[in-house]
A and B are shown apart, each in its own frame.
Chain A
Amino acid sequence: MIDLLAFARPPIDWHAAAPELTLLACGALLTLVDIVWLERAKAVSATLASFSLLAAMVPVVTLAVDGTDRAMFGGAYTVDDFSLVMKAVFLLTAYVVVLLSTDYIAKGDFWESEYYQMLLSAVLGMLVMTSARDLVTIFIALELLSIPAYLMATWHKVDLRSNEAGLKYYLMGVFASAVLLYGMSLLYGVSGSTMLSDINATISNSQAEGLLAVVVLGLIFVVVGFGFKVSAFPFHMWAPDAYEGAPTPVTAFLSVASKAAGFVALLSLVFVGFWDRSDVYQPLLWLLSAASMTGGNLMALRQTNAVRMLAYSGVAQAGYMLAPLAVAGESSATADDALSSVVTYLAIYAAMNLGAFAVIIAVARRTSSAEIDSYKGLFRYAPVLTVAMTVFLMALAGIPPFGGWFAKFEIVLALLSPGTAWGVVLGGVVGLNSVIALYYYARIASYMWVEAPPDNVQSSSPIKVPASVSAALILTGLVTLAFGIVPQWVGHFTDVSLL
């Protein structure tokens, strides 16, 4: 007889898991309401979803106030400053996405309640990702956030373009996660453990030298796998198509939250799992970063559609965020700089990119298009939206006093601080790319301000912006400005360390 009583469940820190559990409970409630109320549930689903996200914020705040680092399941699931900051970023991002979606999803031909259920489960995956320090947990989190995202990209079921976007995103996504898994299986093979800390201990010791090729291969596969997720060049080809075809609020979600989730995973892998193998990951990430910045920007120059342009600019932005990782291994001081600069960038990027998408959604109500040409003369009939778009674009370009400059500044600071030639060169690449990028951001700005409206756009009356989109605009706009003028506010929170 097996003694059933001898089983003791592993200790669970309920407070540490509270954000995820809250979200899970609320998501279940949302499903329940949908099942019971049927049609009537539509009216409340968006409200319920946004309350769920805010409710999940509460334990994040209490955990932050409490301030102690917590670890569960032998360290596979940790709650520290880094994970809390990223949880807050994900929850707020999702909140803004709900604001953007409310009107869009209600007016269009969409399934409503299910949309928000998918959104919440994707966010749940992201929350798990921030705490995951173990290959299995990372994999589960990745799938939990990806699978709903595939569906959301396809949400406009009758639209062929949306189908195509979803299909391309899906096929690329599963391929990437399969490659990633193969890399993980190799790392597991070398270390005999799925814990990131154990992996770091084994791949760096002398025994692993004989298996160096396997380690390198595993690392490359893992990094490439996440390279797809963060749409780094040359693994970005799904992004422009998926972004253009998917419903615009979903695109906003993909380009911010999904990308950030990829970065969170990369950060915990690099800083915890591969830390002592900087000789392998640094050159790899250096190349990936330089290629993403340059490739993304050069391709963004030729785009005629604002969403596609933002997709390619997102590739370039991913390059900026990868850059500090290419020097992170120089010393632990550099590692801290690099980590906090990436986290800062992610937080600011979320605000400015969501803001840009909010404007695109608002303008498309009038022009029914995201073509750059349709932005001509926007200043004449929608001055507020024009100012907002200008703020977000210039923030993305990194011009003070809008948020983006500080993000880029911290990146360059982190690159230069170790004083290595590689870092300095990459810093130069960042600088050069910022100037290239400026051209296409400024081009939209000058279309909006300088040109006359095209004939097919009715430009005599101002655009009616739904209240929820206005709220999203105000929220992201204020954050973008605040982070640019008083960067200490964000810098204070994102000054985190993983080691």
Chain B
Amino acid sequence: MTDFLTDWGLTLVTFAPLLGALIMMTVPAGKTHTHRLVALFASLAALVVGALLLVDFNYGDAGILQYVVDRSWIDVINSRYILGIDGISLPLLALTLVVVPLCVVYSWDHIPHPGNPKAFLSLILILETGMIGTFVAQDLILFFVFFEVVLLPMFFMIGVWGGENRRYASIKFFLFTLFGSALMLLSFLALYFLSSDPITGDPLRTFDMRVLSDVAGAGILGVTQVWIFAGMFIGFGVKVPMFPFHTWLPDAHTEAPTVGSVILAAVLLKLGTYGFVRIAVPMLPEGAEVWMPWIGLLAVIGIIYGALGCLAQTDMKRLIAFSSVAHMGFVMLGVATLTDFGVNAAIFGMVAHGIITGMLFFLAGSVKERYHTLEIKRLGGLLVQAPRMGWLLGFVSMASLGLPGLAGFWGEFPAILSAYSPADGLPVGVFRVYMVVAAVGTVLAAGYLLWLLQRTAMGSPKPEFADNDEIVDVTPTEWIAWLPLLIGIVLFGVMPGLIFRVTDPAVLTVLTEFLG
């Protein structure tokens, strides 16, 4: 059994959803129930195999890659099929595996207009394969392929099942991301051609991420590293999204169907930050050192800008989208310090943001379904009309603003703290300024979330909705879809060590170049 898991486990986890999608394509579109079952089964299958992997994972050695599969793939360009997980991939993999089945469950009776559950659910499954693949791939080209696989299903999800402005939002999402990944690919190619063996000086000509991380940019001049890093910075930065490249996110979130928003917020954004931690930083340490103060700057601009943006929003989903920009700012600030502490906080922040913001989008979707609007000024009195849902909104908002004891806290607080003493070589003074600004950002976050809560949950219902029978409290499907996330928020809030223990050894490996 263990042998089987070691050899096939990751492949199975990655492709089980895709297999489900392929099966669904052979079933006629009319059989809605079959489609739901197949989708649920496929995503659960991935979850089960993933859980087995998690149980079997050697936590003592979380710093090294496990379940490594290394097979030939495209020999003509020296690219191989290499999979593997370590402490950095593991929490994100687990997050993906949990969120997707929940989305399938939520879609049970929430297929957005214009229907067609067959297409909708198969897109979710294809998305899952792409996301999992990105987290487990250990070859740059394989990583790139999975990174791009995610693009089309999301494009269609927004374009077909989205709101009024879906065409604009979907094309914008598509073009932004693709522009970024074109530059990213150029950077990968530069790594391929320029990396050389640190001892013999021979060109390596490999896309193997393990090797490239080990040689840590040997043979590439500092100036060149800065340029290559710039390419990756844009590629990953668009996905995160970092401050100047973030404009696609509010549009995409506003127009996307609920499940699309949840997946986008919970997992897709992490592909960018994961790319920074896994690829950009370890492979180009000199480039990273030059860029990090700037990334830190953009991160804190993102924090403040996102928070201020939130305060100016009239739409609940758009507000949550802007809060994502702010939260991802904290994550990037953690990465920018290049310290063990900061990067661990960043990874924790990714998971926490995934759970919390995913949950917020679920709530927003359910509110929209009941009120047919997300305009904050038309909402109100959720606590009166749907008390449980109102309380959930309050609870998740608290988690989002970083209340100690809930998951959000452990992403933000250590990230801010880590900016106090960034890695050697980074300007300490500058980072301390960032720290102060980021701390102000948390206050603003508390402001906008409480404002949101007060406007939507408290007070009395607006007359137009006062006697509306459609406004029911949380339904059983919703409970099933949400409960795991709610548990996660509390569990990781109370026991952050669950994640830190796994990530720390891997982060130490990634940061070898900076920790001496």
CB-defined contacts of A400 to chain B, threshold 8 Å? 144-145, 148-149
What number of A residues sit within 8 Å (CB to CB) of B?
38
A394 at the interface (CB under 8 A from B): yes
CB distance from A41 to the nearest CB of B (A): 39
Contact among B141, B148, B183, B186 with A399 in the assembled complex (CB-CB below 8 Å): B148
Given contacts A401-B149, A438-B175, contact A488 B75 (CB under 8 A): yes
User: Which residues of B, 93-119, contact A by the 8 Å Cβ criterion?
Assistant: 114, 116, 119
User: Which residues of A, 383-441, contact B by the 8 Å Cβ criterion?
Assistant: 383, 390, 394, 399-401, 405-406, 409-410, 412-413, 416-417, 419, 427-428, 431, 434-435, 438-439
CB-defined contacts of B74 to chain A, threshold 8 Å? 406, 486-488, 491
0/1 string, A440-459, CB within 8 A of B gives 1 = 00110110011100000000
A340 at the interface (CB under 8 A from B): yes
B186→A491 contact, CB < 8 A = no
Contact among A399, A428, A434 with B151 in the assembled complex (CB-CB below 8 Å): A399
CB-defined contacts of A412 to chain B, threshold 8 Å? 185-186, 189
Contact among B144, B149, B189 with A413 in the assembled complex (CB-CB below 8 Å): B189
Given contacts A438-B178, A491-B77, A492-B76, contact A446 B159 (CB under 8 A): yes
In the docked arrangement, what's the CA distance between A379 and B156, Å?
A: 11
A450→B182 contact, CB < 8 A = no
A399→B152 contact, CB < 8 A = yes
In the docked arrangement, what's the CA distance between A165 and B201, Å?
A: 59
User: Which residues of B, 118-158, contact A by the 8 Å Cβ criterion?
Assistant: 119, 141, 144-145, 148-149, 151-152, 155-156
B174→A450 contact, CB < 8 A = no
B294 at the interface (CB under 8 A from A): no
CB-defined contacts of B175 to chain A, threshold 8 Å? 435, 438-439, 442
Contact among A383, A434, A446 with B182 in the assembled complex (CB-CB below 8 Å): A434
A495 at the interface (CB under 8 A from B): yes
B160 at the interface (CB under 8 A from A): yes
B170 at the interface (CB under 8 A from A): yes
In the docked arrangement, what's the CA distance between A406 and B159, Å?
A: 26
B167→A446 contact, CB < 8 A = yes
B391 at the interface (CB under 8 A from A): no
In the docked arrangement, what's the CA distance between A488 and B142, Å?
A: 13
In the docked arrangement, what's the CA distance between A487 and B142, Å?
A: 12
CB-defined contacts of B436 to chain A, threshold 8 Å? none
What number of B residues sit within 8 Å (CB to CB) of A?
36
In the docked arrangement, what's the CA distance between A434 and B179, Å?
A: 9
CB distance from A436 to the nearest CB of B (A): 10
A383→B119 contact, CB < 8 A = yes
CB-defined contacts of B149 to chain A, threshold 8 Å? 400-401
In the docked arrangement, what's the CA distance between A417 and B185, Å?
A: 15
B156→A449 contact, CB < 8 A = yes
B221 at the interface (CB under 8 A from A): no
B253 at the interface (CB under 8 A from A): no
A431→B166 contact, CB < 8 A = no
B148→A401 contact, CB < 8 A = yes
CB distance from B156 to the nearest CB of A (A): 6
The A interface is mostly helix, strand or loop, or mixed, namely helix
B8 at the interface (CB under 8 A from A): no
B2 at the interface (CB under 8 A from A): no
B29 at the interface (CB under 8 A from A): yes
A383, A413, A417, A450, most chain B CB atoms within 10 A: A450
CB distance from B450 to the nearest CB of A (A): 37
B170→A446 contact, CB < 8 A = yes
A488→B76 contact, CB < 8 A = yes
CB distance from B247 to the nearest CB of A (A): 17
In the docked arrangement, what's the CA distance between A487 and B144, Å?
A: 14
CB distance from A420 to the nearest CB of B (A): 12
A491→B75 contact, CB < 8 A = yes
CB distance from B81 to the nearest CB of A (A): 10
A427→B170 contact, CB < 8 A = no
CB-defined contacts of B193 to chain A, threshold 8 Å? 416-417, 419
In the docked arrangement, what's the CA distance between A406 and B148, Å?
A: 13
CB distance from A342 to the nearest CB of B (A): 14
In the docked arrangement, what's the CA distance between A412 and B29, Å?
A: 41
B189→A399 contact, CB < 8 A = no
CB distance from A446 to the nearest CB of B (A): 5
B471 at the interface (CB under 8 A from A): no
Given contacts A435-B179, A450-B160, contact A413 B148 (CB under 8 A): no
CB-defined contacts of A410 to chain B, threshold 8 Å? 76-77
CB distance from B441 to the nearest CB of A (A): 33
CB-defined contacts of B148 to chain A, threshold 8 Å? 399-401, 405
A431, A451, A492, most chain B CB atoms within 10 A: A431
In the docked arrangement, what's the CA distance between A442 and B145, Å?
A: 18
CB distance from B124 to the nearest CB of A (A): 16
0/1 string, A128-151, CB within 8 A of B gives 1 = 000000000000000000000000
User: Which residues of B, 290-313, contact A by the 8 Å Cβ criterion?
Assistant: none
CB-defined contacts of A416 to chain B, threshold 8 Å? 189-190, 193
CB-defined contacts of A449 to chain B, threshold 8 Å? 156, 159-160
In the docked arrangement, what's the CA distance between A410 and B490, Å?
A: 49
CB-defined contacts of B73 to chain A, threshold 8 Å? 486, 488
CB-defined contacts of A435 to chain B, threshold 8 Å? 175, 178-179, 182
A451, A487, A492, most chain B CB atoms within 10 A: A487
In the docked arrangement, what's the CA distance between A439 and B174, Å?
A: 9
Contact among B144, B170, B174 with A438 in the assembled complex (CB-CB below 8 Å): B174
0/1 string, A465-499, CB within 8 A of B gives 1 = 00000000000000000000011100110010000
In the docked arrangement, what's the CA distance between A52 and B382, Å?
A: 73
Contact among B77, B145, B174, B186 with A401 in the assembled complex (CB-CB below 8 Å): B145
In the docked arrangement, what's the CA distance between A184 and B343, Å?
A: 65
Given contacts A438-B175, A487-B74, contact A379 B152 (CB under 8 A): no
CB-defined contacts of B155 to chain A, threshold 8 Å? 442, 445
Given contacts A434-B182, A442-B171, A488-B72, contact A413 B77 (CB under 8 A): yes
A431→B182 contact, CB < 8 A = yes
B160→A379 contact, CB < 8 A = yes
User: Which residues of B, 158-195, contact A by the 8 Å Cβ criterion?
Assistant: 159-160, 166-167, 170-171, 174-175, 178-179, 182-183, 185-186, 189-190, 193
CB-defined contacts of B77 to chain A, threshold 8 Å? 409-410, 413, 487, 491
CB-defined contacts of B167 to chain A, threshold 8 Å? 446, 450-451
Residue of A nearest to B29 (CB): A383
Residue of A nearest to B76 (CB): A491
CB distance from A352 to the nearest CB of B (A): 15
In the docked arrangement, what's the CA distance between A178 and B174, Å?
A: 46
In the docked arrangement, what's the CA distance between A146 and B404, Å?
A: 76
Given contacts A401-B145, A413-B77, contact A450 B152 (CB under 8 A): no
CB distance from A337 to the nearest CB of B (A): 9
0/1 string, B187-212, CB within 8 A of A gives 1 = 00110010000000000000000000
Instruction: Please name 15 further chain A to chain B contacts, defined as beta carbons within 8 Å, in addition to the given A431-B182, A487-B76, sorted by A numbering.
Output: A383-B116, A400-B145, A400-B148, A413-B189, A416-B189, A431-B186, A438-B174, A442-B155, A443-B171, A446-B171, A450-B167, A451-B167, A488-B73, A488-B76, A491-B77
What 9 pairs across the A-B complex have the smallest Cβ distances?
Answer: A491-B76, A400-B145, A400-B148, A450-B159, A487-B74, A488-B74, A431-B182, A449-B160, A450-B167
Q: Can you offer 14 A-B residue contacts whose CB atoms are under 8 A?
A: A379-B119, A405-B148, A410-B76, A412-B186, A417-B193, A431-B183, A434-B182, A435-B178, A442-B175, A443-B171, A451-B167, A488-B72, A488-B73, A492-B75
Interface on A for B, CB 8 Å cutoff? 340, 379-380, 383, 390, 394, 399-401, 405-406, 409-410, 412-413, 416-417, 419, 427-428, 431, 434-435, 438-439, 442-443, 445-446, 449-451, 486-488, 491-492, 495
Interface on B for A, CB 8 Å cutoff? 29, 72-77, 114, 116, 119, 141, 144-145, 148-149, 151-152, 155-156, 159-160, 166-167, 170-171, 174-175, 178-179, 182-183, 185-186, 189-190, 193
